[in-house]
Structure 1
Amino acid sequence: MVQTNTEVPSNETSFGPDTKCIVKVPKPYYLENNNPRRMLLNRVAGARLWNLASWCTSVSCVIIAKLFLNFCTKSAVVHNEEPFVRILLDPNRTRPILTDYMPCTTEVIMARADFPFLRVDDPLLWGSLPMSVYKSLRTIRWTLGAQEICFTNPALSYFFSLGRVVPTVRGAGIHQPAMNYALDRLNDGEWVHIFPEGKVNQTASLIRFKWGIGRLLMETHNLPIVVPLWHKGLEDVMPEERDNPFIPLIGKDIKILFGDPIDLKELLAELQEVDETTTRIRITDIIFRAMDELQRKACAIEVEESKTR
């Protein structure tokens, strides 16, 4: 549950089987009674004001992303977003949504950790969706963000928190507070977006997915609707090597492809008698293969488009 904190929050905890892994949670997030399973968000100045500020922050970023896609790119083509939008905006939807994506080539984040705000893949992706998606916080995504990049000082911490980013410690495993918080949001029926590779991938091919996605799907009370995404061209907007690290490059070709929902109900039913580790591996493998198939589909679309030019 997201709530306003009325007590002095705890921000550091140890967890794991041997309790040797220590995570310090940045404000405004905090740990309830030093419990890593209960990471909460201290909505400063009250829930209503925080929610309004969060909505304004998210929508402002989306509007800027839309302006960039419409006026600062050579082309911005989005495929198959309608099924995802219908699912997201369905007033009768009871299941949470879990999206994951892969870029075609290098990840669009600078290697320099002192410029965390120069990451453009996340806002530009959601700038491709219609504004009707952003009428409510319920249809705005939560996402996991590297704590050592996005939460390095109070100003950035509050900005990214208002933007519904959850501080994640790379290498802290699938039971860290951030993963528990993401699981809570799914259990609330919300939309969570994750990066299944769990790191900056600077290759043109898929690498092994982390097991965190398997854990989220296994432990939700109501199995999420899983939608994979693929994009190409965003890596050219903020490449690592350019003259000015603050200015994005314009005139690029952007392609975004939404995959079809992945149904895991039958698989989870088959794995009821299987141990937890094996189940996580099988689920993660299914998502990996779906992403690989989506990449092949994107390549096929590119070939067809090239023939019509």
Structure 2
Amino acid sequence: MVYDIKWIIPKLRNPTKFWKFASSITFAAVGIFSKFILEWLNKTKIYNKHIITRALDCRPRNVPLITISNHHSCFDDPGIWATLDLRHLINRRVIRWSLAAHDICFTNVWHSYFFMLGKCVPVLRGEGVYQESMNFCIEKLSSGEWVHVFPEGKVNMLKENTRLKWGVGRLILESPVTPLVIPIYHLGMDDVLPNEPPYMIKTHKKVTMNYGDPIDFSEMLKELRSAKANEIDARKAITDRIQEELLRLRSVTEKLHLQS
């Protein structure tokens, strides 16, 4: 039986004051817990944190933010954001929206409410780039908000160089204002929460978090529009560029991880 999630996006579009309060409590609780796990119980090194801090503090109000990262563990989100300053981590107005697999995070009403309060948006595997969750994220980008994407589309347990999903290409292509795009690569998160049973949080593990330089898509978008490229080719070109940057960042991060 497939759990019906059609009600979720409309509810996320119209939050009440109580919903916003409950969401703030959720972010504070999960954020502080995750920060304790990563920065107190494990050995986490963060590189180029100033990049994300500057993006959250200094980008113009109308400029949206998209972050992209590899996906090695179910702890990646919230684990990645545990490296943020606490003032960002617990601020529901600042923190990201995140695309999350509906068949993992939205399997029943209680799970759905929890992840909704954490600003997670259900994405349906196999439904393509024009599903409602993608439309919702474009709405948020139109408001200058922050959306995070795991473009591998799954937990990449074998750490293979797989082709990235084109959904992120659509987000960048159709955002009314060219977004600030920041790549992130991390290693060790699957040691903190392994992908094998019994799925217990581990301690004293080494985690490396590396924020890459922002990717400027303004020139590429200009060229694609001038050439009147069709949407499929445009999404592919954008996603290929992201893949190149993530691979480059992976190489750098692997060296840092070995040194730490």
1:267 to 195, 205, 220: 220
Any unmatched runs of 5+ in structure 2?
A: none
Please show how residues 98-137 of structure 1 align to structure 2 within 5 Å: 98-103=66-71, 107-108=72-73, 119-134=74-89, 136-137=91-92
Please show how residues 29-48 of structure 1 align to structure 2 within 5 Å: 29-30=9-10, 41=12, 43=14, 47-48=16-17
Identity level (%): 36
Please identify runs of 4+ aligned residues in structure 1 that moved more than 3 A: 26-30
Question: In the aligned structure 1, how far is the partner of 2:214 from the partner of 2:37?
Answer: 28
Cα deviations by residue, 1:140-185 (Å, 9 ceiling, x for unpaired): 1100111111111111111100000001111110001111111111
Compute the displacement of 1:205 (Å): 2.8
2:120 to 165, 176, 179: 165
Compute the displacement of 1:27 (Å): 3.8
**Normalization by structure 1: what TM-score?**
0.78
Cα deviations by residue, 1:89-146 (Å, 9 ceiling, x for unpaired): 227442100001014xxx21xxxxxxxxxx3111111011111214632311100111
Q: Structure 1 pair 262/91, CA: closer, same or farther in 2 (3 Å)? A: closer
The number of equivalent residue pairs is 257
Q: Which one has more relative contact order, counting CA pairs under 8 Å at least 6 apart?
A: 2
2:35–2:79 contact (8 Å) kept in structure 1: yes
2:5 to 10, 20, 25: 25
Question: In the aligned structure 1, how far is the partner of 2:128 from the partner of 2:91?
Answer: 32
Q: Structure 1 pair 280/76, CA: closer, same or farther in 2 (3 Å)? A: same
Counterpart residue number, 1:59:
28
Q: For residue 96 of structure 1, what is the amino acid of its counterpart?
A: P
Please show how residues 3-22 of structure 1 align to structure 2 within 5 Å: none
2:249 equivalent to 1:249: no
Counterpart residue number, 1:36:
none
Question: In the aligned structure 2, how far is the partner of 1:301 from the partner of 1:251?
Answer: 18
Compute the displacement of 1:81 (Å): 1.0
Any unmatched runs of 5+ in structure 1?
A: 1-21, 31-39, 109-118
SS of alignment partner, residue 227 of structure 1: strand
Aligned residues: CA RMSD: 2.0
**Normalization by structure 2: what TM-score?**
0.92
Compute the displacement of 1:23 (Å): 10
Task: Look at both structures and tell me which one has the larger radius of gyration over its CA atoms.
Answer: 1
Cα deviations by residue, 1:3-30 (Å, 9 ceiling, x for unpaired): xxxxxxxxxxxxxxxxxxx994344433
